[in-house]
Amino acid sequence: MSILVTGGAGYIGSHTVVELVTHQEDVVVVANLQTWHRQSILGVPLYVADIRDTEQLPKIRRDHAVDTVIHFAASSVYNIVFSSTAAVYGNPIRTPIEESDDKTPTNPYGETKLAIEMMLNWAYRAYGIRSIRLRYFNGAGAHPVLPIGLATIKEMYNIGSHSGDR
């Protein structure tokens, strides 16, 4: 069994590969080499590919009996639209909620979304990466014309329903 390291030619990825090899792990790397170079990879199979390649990646996985993936592949993006949540406000003290109201989440979902928002603030200060947050309450409903919207697999196929629940 092998470990696939995506972005294994990058800074963090290449160091991870070295550590894995040091611990006698069987490692294979996929990297597109847009910003790094093949000299970062020493002694393990390297596939120059995009991780979105739906033909090559399954073949690599089969050929190397990959059972674990460590994902480091990423590109630096300078404009981010982040899907956040109104749950960052927790129990609001007033409605309508205003952007400047205290953010005191009451659950892990709101807490992690707020943490990412804070990271995006730091990314702007440090690297100029701009972002916008979309904060909304529970999305619900369906498109008025297209067959898209809120529907789980159970709802779509009427799984587990009782007669008369339709």
Domains of the chain, start order = 2-71 (3.40.50.720), 76-160 (3.40.50.720)
The DSSP-derived string for the chain is -EEEEETTTSHHHHHHHHHHHHTT--EEEEE--SSS-GGG--SS-EEE--TT-TTHHHHHHHHTTEEEEEE------SEEEEE--GGGG-S-SSSS--TTS-----SHHHHHHHHHHHHHHHHHHHH--EEEEE--S----B-SSSS-BS--HHHHHTTTPPTT--
Catalytic pick among 11, 78, 109, 136: 109
Q: What is the pLDDT of residues 18-67, one digit of tens each?
A: 989 999 999 999 998 887 777 777 789 999 998 888 999 999 999 999 99
Q: What is the pLDDT of residues 14-26, one digit of tens each?
A: 889 998 999 999 9
Identify whether 47 is a catalytic site residue: no
